[in-house]
Amino acid sequence: MSGLQTQDRGSAVGDGLPVVTRERGQRQVFCGLAGIVWLHRKIQDAFFLVIGSRTCAHLLQSAAGVMIFAEPRFATAILHERDLAGLADCNAELDRVVAEVLERRPDIGTLFLVGSCPSEVIKLDLAKAAERLAAVYQGRVRILDYSASGLETTFTQGEDACLKALVPELPQLPSGDRSLLVLGTLPDVVEDQFARLFAELGIGPVHFLPPRRTTAFPPLGSGTKVLLAQPFLGETARACEARGAELLSAPYPFGIEGTLGWLRAATEAWGVTGEVLDAVTAPAIARAQRGLAHHRESLEGKRISFLPDSQLEIPLARFLQRECGMDLVEVGTPFLDRRLMAEEMGLLPEGVRLTEGQDLERQLDRLREDRPDLTVCGLGLANPLESEGLRTKWSIELVFTPVHGFDQAADLAELFARPLRRAALLRV
């Protein structure tokens, strides 16, 4: 039903949360295969084998910027016309490709079979294929599957599906033990910063999912407290809860306010006092404030709109409005999990235009009428909007770049200030 719009208010009428307008119609989203680009860099002993088309292969190659001789830890098993027409045995061909990959790359600890739009259209059962191949290579390599199809999803959900596939593989946390599990892919430098902060706060043991190597899977059980570093991991969070873990409610660690609130959720679970939290974080907050002051000059008072793409829109909007002084025109997000966003939605300004889903033509009409100073959108919309004189920021860049935590707060602000400064220079 193109153009369907309904309104919904958070959890209960009068709860103070912004009114959400749901839209359904034509969408412009990026493919979930993009998650492989940052996942294969993070999990150093994993290999991602996409079962898809030449388009899938070209997408990965261009998104990763990897040369053909660079030996990346991902590849595409290409489905040809005979496969799509049902004239060939796809499972036999998949077995052959997996054997070739493992012979060439003996260092692989975990092999992911990644579903795509073409493999889902022909109903190729990768779960059974993974189960069959895991039995063949038992003791040699772990073989798992997940779907990164772009059908009815957005690009960050590829990571959610991948991490959910890992949850059954995690060892059991011994009864009576407790630990903190940080959920979501983080650049190594950011992970190290957070690990140091948790150690100084007296919180531990702390584990991260995904790990840098699948030989170091974190334990999971009823004593596990889960802290989300990325807001698009709802399915993985629910899988952890099904194994007894407790999800901590917190804002996301973008900017000073979000990072402090995120750490506070962990300190409260561990019984660490507010005085200790303030003392440990004071130096990092001071550095972040100095860095943000430089970029606030470029951002304060500027108007910004978010088109739905990454599911990062709400926490980023909160950061830009509350810490950088920007005015929110519209905040669109492809999917809204009110439970995971409860802390963030409570920090949005009253009356903000908040939309879930997408009716592309309606949103573009509003955008052209609003004429914000900056629009955050997907790659497919950026150049056409630039040609209309609208400054844009690619939403996918906010996933590739280290932006979490105190020490990256200024870098995060700069990503939004840069196109505005460039536009100002071009007008001179």
Q: List the binding residues.
A: 31, 56, 117
3-state secondary structure the chain: CCCEEEEEECCCCCCCCCEEEEEECCCCCCCHHHHHHHHHHHCCCEEEEEEECHHHHHHHHHHHCCCCCCCCCEEEEECCHHHHCCCCCHHHHHHHHHHHHHHHCCCCCEEEEEECHHHHHCCCCHHHHHHHHHHHCCCCCEEEEEECCCCCCCCCHHHHHHHHHHHHHCCECCCCCCEEEEECCCCHHHHHHHHHHHHHHCCCCEEEECCCCHHHCCCECCCEEEEECCCCCHHHHHHHHHCCCEECCCCCCCHHHHHHHHHHHHHHHHCCCHHHHHHHHHHHHHHHHHHHHHHHHHHCCCEEEECCCCCCHHHHHHHHHHHHCCEEEEEEECCCCHHHHHHHHCCCCCCCEEEEEECHHHHHHHHHHHCCCEEEECHHHHHHHHHCCCCEEECCHHHHCCCCCHHHHHHHHHHHHHHHHHHHHHHC
Spatial contact of 10 and 20, defined as CB atoms under 8 Å apart = yes
Known binding site for [4Fe-4S] cluster: residues?
Answer: 31, 56, 117
Q: 177 CB contacts (<8 Å, ≥6 apart)?
A: 219, 221, 223
For 342, list phi and psi in degrees, rounded to 5. Answer: -60, -45
Angle between helices 409-427 and 313-324 (to 10 degrees): 80
Q: What's the angle, vertex CA 285, arms to CA 281 and CA 291, rounded to 5?
A: 155
**Do 112 and 48 form a contact (C-beta atoms < 8 A)?**
yes
Phi then psi for 309, rounded to 5 degrees?
Answer: -155, -55
